[in-house]
Each structure stands twice: as C-alpha cells, then as structure tokens.
C-alpha cells in the first residue's frame, strides 16, 4: 500500500450485532493471496483514533462462521499496518454466573473446529507459533478497567470453546464443554486469534454473553441448573432452555450501547506506539 495516510494501527473485527459507526469513512479493497476479505475495509475516525473495521460476516451478515475467510481478513489488516485487533463476539454462556449481557475478556481457547485454514505457513518455512497465552494482556487489562469504571458486569479472563458451526451445540456437547472448564461457546474466535499471532498483532476478544446455550434448565425452586429430568438440588421438575437466533439478536441489541461505551472509552487509552510482547510472537517460532 503506497498511501501512507491509509496505514492504521488499530482494527475492529465486528461480529454478530457489534457493528460500529466511523466518521470520515473511506472504504478500501485489499487483494490478498487468500482471496477476498469478508467486506471492504472501512477506515475512519472513532473517538479521536483512526480505526479500520471489517464486518466478520460480511455487510449483509451472509457469511456463516465456517465460511469466513479468516486468513484474508488478518492478512489484509496486517497489510495496512494493523498492530492491535479488537474482536467483539457474541457467545453462549457455559456457567450460570455468566448471565446475559456480561462481558468476558477471553484469555484462553479450546479449538473444536474441523475444516478451517489455520496458518499462513503451509510449506517451505514452517511456523510453530506459541499459544500458551494467546490474547493480549495489555488490551484485556485496559478493557477490564474501563468496564469496572462503568460498573458493567465484566470479567478479565475466561475460556472460549470455539465450535465449527453454523449449528448450535447438542445438550451433550454443551455439558461436556462445561466439564472441560469452558466459560463460553462461540463460532468465530478460532483461527482468528492464532492467525493474528502469526502476523504479530495484539488480539483481544470481548465476548458478549447472549444466551445460556443448551446445558441449562430452569427449576421453579432453584433457578438455573444443569438440565436433567429432575433437579439435583430439590428433585423438582426442570424445564428445558434452548438457544435460537432471535434470543441472540435481542440480547445483542440490549448490549450494543454498553459495548459502544466500552469501545469509545478504552480505545482512547490504547497506546498505539507501545511495543508489546505480541509484536514479537514469531521470535523462536520459525524453522
């Protein structure tokens, strides 16, 4: 890219219900070795910072999670100079303490995807990227502190189970994910996070709880419990809870204003000149 003014340090990859509005917008098309990005990249002003924005599922939300061209999106953002990626993502809760509307700053993932291209290094030079701590601690801390100041229900740290999609989980799968220690379940965080690491970009996932997935049931006496024929606590009847698209969208609409506040206040604090450990993730990773 020859136009220096188009270089942008900070990018947002918007998920379901997390579109943002930029001022003085310019849309650019980046051609990548991996095909087309989800949409043209919008570059504009967001509360005093120049920000790039990609709608992960496309402009009309027509790209299912298992068909997103993650490599093209991340490659294109690196091409325009991105050093920090913020990824708001709608997720289901795997713990009754994570209620609808809660924000969780993810610090670990478990990959349950099956068919996704997950590396830029497919031959010739090999890369064994470290993923012990995949997410940017600096960004997580900034968003957490802002969220607490705003008195939001927010948690710093959590395990994201990433499934292939586009279907939702079975009850058996949902219960298994809880046993694994998962906090939330979603469909888009992987391989976005590992591809960002291969491009030495800081990556932060703001998981927004939209539902309780399908492990949960509701007991008239005990409230939310793990679904079973009878409540393990009182022996009463447990009603099934399920997840559907209208529920997710309804919760996202309610959370959108809080997400906007969280982004507006935190983005102003990000030191785009900061040299983060994430910017050196390829050190000792290449063969």
The catalytic position among 213, 271, 275, 284 is 213
Sorted by sequence, the CB contacts under 8 Å of residue 71 that are 6+ apart come out as 32, 34, 117, 120, 195
Catalytic-residue membership of 3: no
The catalytic position among 9, 133, 211, 284 is 211
3-state secondary structure of 259: helix
Sorted by sequence, the CB contacts under 8 Å of residue 234 that are 6+ apart come out as 219, 221, 222
Q: State the Cα–Cα distance between residues 200 and 212, nearest whole angstrom.
A: 34
C-alpha to C-alpha distances, 110 to 59, 60, 163, 207, nearest whole angstrom: 28, 29, 9, 14
Tokens 């219900």 — which residue?
17
Catalytic-residue membership of 275: no
Find the helix or strand (DSSP H, E) in which 247 lies. helix 245-267
Q: State the Cα–Cα distance between residues 242 and 225, nearest whole angstrom.
A: 13
Q: Catalytic positions, please?
A: 211, 213
């Amino acid at each position: 890219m020859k136009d220096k003014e188009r270089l942008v340090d900070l990018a947002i990859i918007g998920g379901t219900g997390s579109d943002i509005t930029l001022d003085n917008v310019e849309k650019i098309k980046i051609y990548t070795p991996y095909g087309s990005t989800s949409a043209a990249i919008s570059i504009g002003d967001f509360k005093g910072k120049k920000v790039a924005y990609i709608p992960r599922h496309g402009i009309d939300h027509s790209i299912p999670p298992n068909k997103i061209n993650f490599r093209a999106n991340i490659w294109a953002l690196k091409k325009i100079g991105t050093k920090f990626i913020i990824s708001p993502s709608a997720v289901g809760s795997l713990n009754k303490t994570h209620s609808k509307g809660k924000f969780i700053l993810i610090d670990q993932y478990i990959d349950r995807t099956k068919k996704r291209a997950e590396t830029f290094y497919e031959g010739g030079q090999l890369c064994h990227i470290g993923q012990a701590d995949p997410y940017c601690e600096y960004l997580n801390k900034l968003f957490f502190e802002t969220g607490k100041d705003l008195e939001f229900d927010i948690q710093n740290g959590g395990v994201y189970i990433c499934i292939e999609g586009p279907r939702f989980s079975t009850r058996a799968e949902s219960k298994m994910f809880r046993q694994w220690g998962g906090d939330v379940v979603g469909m888009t965080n992987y391989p976005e996070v590992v591809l960002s690491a291969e491009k030495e970009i800081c990556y932060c996932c703001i998981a927004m709880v939209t539902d309780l997935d399908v492990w949960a049931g509701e007991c008239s006496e005990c409230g939310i419990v793990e679904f079973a024929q009878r409540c393990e606590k009182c022996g009463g009847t447990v009603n099934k809870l399920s997840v559907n698209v209208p529920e997710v969208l309804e919760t996202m609409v309610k959370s959108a204003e809080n997400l906007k506040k969280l982004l507006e206040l935190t983005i102003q604090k990000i030191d785009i000149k900061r040299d983060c450990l994430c910017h050196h993730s390829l050190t000792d990773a290449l063969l």
